[in-house]
Structure 1
């Protein structure tokens, strides 16, 4: 084979592999400029995550909430994604608890709202316990307990909002947090249904 033909074949192959690689990451060519150890996920992993999150009612929340934890994982499947979604829900529950604690400590918080906030604090604590039990159920391959615990998390979050709706004229300062927690918990239930 002539040197020119070999060079042309070599360059064509490089362009083809570069094109395939760029397409694999949805056209994000910049991502290919960094070494592999900096990139937390492969094309295949991204596709799996997207496919699993598409089974939830809130796929965008699913993807965005687990993305901070992706650099620490290897292979992914529904069980892995569920674990990450539970971790995101746990962390967000802790954020909600902190917000409640600040309001409870604030002397400007009206007494009527104080009672509701204490209900929320207790409900969020219950949610944390239920999330921890869900993690143990995953490890034990106990789908019945897993579903019960994740359903309980939704109930716990609803209990916080119910405390405010039962008081006419009192608006929940936790509505946006409870909305996000409901989405995360709902995602957990949907992903749990994929585990066999």
Structure 2
């Protein structure tokens, strides 16, 4: 059921992208995912090419979409990560396995992730409205959430974050979306010159 809903969302997203926005449509070609991930990796020392390629390849719609579609797929994957992590944190808090310091950190992370859910939705709306500068700022804020959550645990010597994997995944998914958003003005020239992305 979850997979069916996920596929339906991506179908609607793809249809809306092609018919509901004024973005130019790039040529559709089989290696867009790898080419995009490679270009992003070449532009950043923290960008993870393998994570990018594996994450986007996993989603069927990614193979038949354009550059804008890949950005939307990355943002949707980030949103799924946020939703799953909120559930993970709640389960950790309910388990009673953590000391008071860790519980405090988990509660802080829960609040950060709850805020990130709305921020990502706003980023998607901004992106679909062709407000790339706003989408850029919002996705960057989500990336900062992961750093803040992780660093909270490090305030106590010897404390190990139980959310490192989740934080890293959200950081990387957001980085994919952010890189593609920044590539769009380059790909489509003067149409987006007025946007300071």
Instruction: Indicate yes or no: 2:145 matched with 1:156.
Output: yes
Q: CA deviation at 1:74?
A: 7.6
Task: List structure 1 runs of 4+ shifted beyond 3 angstroms.
Answer: 72-75
Q: CA deviation at 1:131?
A: 1.0
For 1:46, what is the secondary structure of its paired residue? coil
Instruction: Indicate yes or no: 2:118 matched with 1:98.
Output: no
Q: CA deviation at 1:179?
A: 1.4
> Which structure 2 residue ranges, 5 or more long, are not aligned?
1-27, 41-46, 186-197
Structure ID, larger Rg: 1
TM-score normalised over the length of structure 1: 0.72
Partner of 2:126: 137
TM-score normalised over the length of structure 2: 0.71
Q: In the comparison of the two structures, how many residue pairs are matched?
A: 152
The answer on whether the counterparts of 2:33 and 2:57 sit within 8 Å (CA) in structure 1 is no
Distance (Å, rounded) in 1 between the aligned partners of 2:84 and 2:138: 20
Partner of 2:31: 47
Partner of 2:49: 59
Residue by residue, what CA displacement relative to the aligned partner does 1:151-194 show, whole Å, maximum 9, x if unpaired?
Answer: 10111111111211122221101112111211111111111111
Distance (Å, rounded) in 2 between the aligned partners of 1:46 and 1:88: 21
1:124 aligned to 113, 119, 139, which one? 113
* 1:78-117 correspondence runs (5 A): 78-117=67-106
Q: CA deviation at 1:65?
A: 1.4
> Which structure 1 residue ranges, 5 or more long, are not aligned?
1-43
CA RMSD in angstroms, aligned pairs only: 1.7
